[in-house]
A and B are shown apart, each in its own frame.
Chain A
Amino acid sequence: MSFLEYAPAPESRAILSLRDQYGLFIDGEFVEGRGTPFQTISPASEERIAMISNANPADVDDAVAAARRAYDRTWSKMSGRDRGKYLFRIARLVQERSRELAVAESLDNGKPIKESRDVDVPLVAAWFFYYAGWADKLDHAGLGAGPRAHGVAAQVIPWNFPLLMLSWKIAPALAAGNTVVLKPAETTSLTALIFAEILQQADLPPGVVNIITGAGDTGATLVAHDGVDKVAFTGSTAVGRAIAKQIAGTDKKATLELGGKAANIVFDDAPIDQAIEGIVNGIFFNQGHVCCAGSRLLVQENIHDEVVERLKLRLSTLRLGDPLDKNTDIGAINSKEQLERIRMLSDVGVAEGADRWSVACEIPENGFWYAPTIFTNVQTSSRIAREEIFGPVLSVLTFRTPAEAIAKANNTPYGLSAGIWTDKGSRILAVADKLRAGVVWANTFNRFDPSSPFGGYKESGYGREGGRHGLAAYLTPAPVGQAAISAGRAGAKSVSAGRAAAKPRIEAKDAAKNTRTAPSRSAKAAKKGAAK
């Protein structure tokens, strides 16, 4: 890279005070896991950061039991107002320790510090702040008066946005009154464990949030656990499918945020400079480790050559290297395994006849890296146009008419996100209407906000995270008879009017339980219960 020579500007690691080994966070305390501990490494250097505990099935039992106790004794009895106050505390503590969290995230995950510092961690605080305010306003969540929490939520999150995904899961769950057992991804447990320290500082009652670390089998054990009422998973469609099968026939509710293969559609009247930046942000943000990444560029045929040319020029200015360097644009691939998958699919692209172009940049000696790569001349049937690569690899396809763009964009079993670039407002709205995707960005890409629902159509999963919809996913309507909304004229069959606001599910068991939260305990009493 010789375009611009910058002196190294690494963010200091001095702000971290990492432990040499981390336990599981169960019932408000760190305890040693009973599985074989594993090390977490920096993907940029392969250096060991710390030893992480491995939760075995007995540990999962303990965590779920702690969450159940906390739900029964503390959290379900606490007022929404007080639950909200805990969440506000957490939001503030995240802000106070934001630099530390950003450095830890970049170290453990490999993402550039400018992203963890300016995107991930600020959004984490925003997520807790947003849902904090919901905790005492649940009657307005859209499920009628007096909705109830599910109980214990099992949450399994991926490695691409470790702390951000944690906040997407924990904040709405707690606001709605659930307690949580969360399992971070095997390669990125660190910031979740620092977050556990924040929970201690916030004096959150023990057991309300439990964080257990381990590999996929730990997550599977957790999801399958009988003591779990709600499952929230973000990760691959293959695992999401397995979860959907596993919980079939049970009373567990599920939110699944799965894979994607988003189309980013560029029309010939698009503001081209912004579009180029948007394409780059769409697929090279976070090394392309983004489920909603704009990995399929659909560019109108008459501007294809110009767009590709300018893209290559722009990519040549990206700086790949030390994630902790403030000038770094492209960080490390999160794991060796993921790097191998990117390489494999990339080779398949070449074998299937597409043209590969990669930025000619220096690749550091240690760690896992993949230079930003563009494929042109890609067939719609090619695996690089169909499968999620989850890396900095863009497949470029062309179209002539809006109808063709829409058809190609929707030609995927996924349906998580999409992008549209054009100066014509009416075309944006018409195309947005036709795209089968849960999030559509027009003249922008990869924007996230706690008030904005996020989630997919089709095999990208179901349920939404963010906004009122994300809150509702952690609630169930009041038992029949407790909400009074008219369903119109009750006929000879005497339709129960109360069901009008209810989800059409058999809730007999829930109705019998009737564990509706009541504002009966003061914050003081709750805190007493939390004393360590």
Chain B
Amino acid sequence: MSRLAVPKTYKLYIGGAFPRSESGRTYEVLRADGGFLANVAKASRKDARDAVVAARGAVSGWSGATSYNRGQVLYRIAELLEGRRAQFVAEIEEAEGASRAVASAQVDEAIDRWVWYAGWADKFAQVAGNANPVAGPYFNISVPEPTGVVAIIAPQDSSLVGFVSALAPALVAGNSVVIVASERFPLSAISLAEVLATSDVPGGVVNVLTGSPAEIAPWLASHSDVNALDLVGAGDLDWVSLEIEAADTLKRVLRPEGGADAAAPALGRITAFTETKTVWHTKSLK
């Protein structure tokens, strides 16, 4: 007699904990072949707001960590992903109906992108910053700083690599994130949250919502305590309305991207969620 499997309950990830949706709602996620895969939490407006509160609370710690430290913490996620490689491959095979080779390639790419971004943590400021030769006796330097709380609609057509490609760059500079996973392929996002929970990323730095992006995105776009909105995976939503809502609080907005090249690794994805701060100081021998 074969062993009876123990299925996992997929919940939200908010403030370092795994709550169910406060609404009590779930939705059914299916396999590629149409079979039942899981009941996943369907996040509500209240969940989104809780996630923003958690993200805001985590800003000062994460943005205040040294770049070297953030780089190491992010690199460790890649290490943990590597250790759980088989789990992610199996999950993607089931959810996307992909072959083992294709699923493995997706996991490999996701891990490699984490490593690529982790390495930027203590370098992007040197590329994006400047010492400014002003015409006077002043020390003057411009440095990129994290924008604050970034809300992300993750790419909808992949389980892991799209999610990672949107999440990792926002973390590099020290932002806190509320990310809405792919509606169809949310399982890897929650499994990744389990990795984050056991890594050294402080609770609240990453908050993962599952459910309907169409329902959740407007709350995030209009939320006054969200500083930036990455609509990379919002191509099928009414993203122009989201951009208009974001304008009320002058959020920084990244637009939807589509195709195989969506959210490709780019320094620009890091700097898009930074603010340039220029500090002047007088120079004097006195």
- Identify the A interface with B (CB < 8 A): 126, 142, 237, 240-241, 244-245, 248-249, 256, 258, 413, 415, 428, 432, 435-444, 447, 449, 451-455, 457-459, 461-462, 464, 467-469, 487-489, 491-496, 499-506
Contacts and interface: CB of A to CB of B under 8 A. Distances in A.
A488 B244 contact: no
B160 to A, nearest CB: 11
A492 to B, nearest CB: 3
A518 B139 CA distance: 37
B276 A464 contact: yes
A321 B129 CA distance: 43
Contacts of B255: 505-506
Contacts of B138: 444, 447
B76 to A, nearest CB: 18
A444 B116 contact: no
Contacts of B249: 413, 458-459
Interface string B264-276: 1111110010011
Contact of B116 (A248, A432, A451, A487): A487
B277 A440 contact: yes
A235 to B, nearest CB: 13
A290 to B, nearest CB: 15
Contacts of B116: 487-489
Among B106, B269, B281, the most chain A Cβ lie within 10 Å of the Cβ of B281
Contact of A244 (B102, B133, B250, B268): B250
A452 B142 contact: yes
Contacts of A493: 105-106, 109, 161, 260
Contacts of A469: 130, 142, 276
A299 B136 CA distance: 27
Nearest to A425: B281
Interface residues of B, number: 61
9 contacts: A241-B247, A249-B244, A449-B135, A452-B140, A455-B276, A462-B252, A492-B102, A495-B265, A500-B266
B278 A458 contact: no
A444 B282 contact: yes
A500 B109 CA distance: 15
Contacts of A458: 148, 227, 249-250
A249 B253 CA distance: 11
Contact of B266 (A142, A240, A504): A504
Contact of B109 (A244, A443, A462, A491): A491
Interface of B: 102, 104-106, 108-109, 112-113, 115-116, 127-128, 130, 132-136, 138, 140, 142, 147-148, 161, 224, 227, 232, 239-240, 243-244, 246-250, 252-258, 260-261, 263-269, 272, 275-282
B285 to A, nearest CB: 14
Nearest to A505: B255
A203 B21 CA distance: 67
Contacts of A499: 261, 264-266
Contact of A453 (B130, B252, B253, B263): B130
Given A438-B277, A500-B267, 14 more contacts: A240-B250, A245-B244, A439-B277, A439-B279, A444-B280, A451-B133, A488-B115, A491-B109, A493-B260, A496-B261, A503-B268, A504-B232, A504-B266, A505-B254
B248 A452 contact: no
Nearest to A244: B247
A443 B132 contact: no
Q: 5 nearest interchain CB pairs?
A: A492-B105, A491-B109, A249-B240, A244-B247, A449-B134
Nearest to B110: A491
Contact of A438 (B140, B240, B243, B276): B276
B240 A467 contact: no
A527 to B, nearest CB: 31
B260 A501 contact: no
A438 B252 CA distance: 15
A458 B252 CA distance: 9
Contact of B243 (A248, A428, A454, A501): A248
A348 B275 CA distance: 34
B280 A441 contact: yes
A504 B250 contact: no
Contacts of A467: 130, 132, 142, 278
A492 B104 CA distance: 9
Given A467-B130, A493-B260, A501-B268, A428 B281 contact: yes
Given A437-B277, A439-B278, A453-B142, A491 B108 contact: yes
Contacts of B132: 449, 451-453, 467
Contacts of B227: 458
Contact of B265 (A126, A245, A453, A487): A487
A494 B115 CA distance: 16
Nearest to A249: B240
Nearest to B133: A451
A487 B232 CA distance: 19
B275 to A, nearest CB: 5
Contacts of A501: 266-268
Contact of B134 (A142, A258, A447, A487): A447
A354 B265 CA distance: 53
Nearest to A493: B109
A260 to B, nearest CB: 13
B265 A500 contact: yes
A136 to B, nearest CB: 19
A211 B246 CA distance: 31
Contacts of A464: 276
Contacts of B275: 415, 438, 457
A234 to B, nearest CB: 14
Contacts of A244: 246-247, 250
A442 B137 CA distance: 13
A432 to B, nearest CB: 5
A156 B106 CA distance: 47
A442 B140 CA distance: 10
B248 to A, nearest CB: 6
Contacts of A440: 277-280
Nearest to A429: B279
A304 to B, nearest CB: 24
B101 to A, nearest CB: 8
A452 B143 CA distance: 11
B264 A487 contact: yes
B250 A237 contact: yes
Contacts of A494: 260
Contact of A443 (B130, B267, B282): B282
Contacts of B133: 451
Among A244, A428, A438, A496, the most chain B Cβ lie within 10 Å of the Cβ of A244
B92 to A, nearest CB: 12
A492 B264 contact: no
Among B106, B140, B252, B264, the most chain A Cβ lie within 10 Å of the Cβ of B264
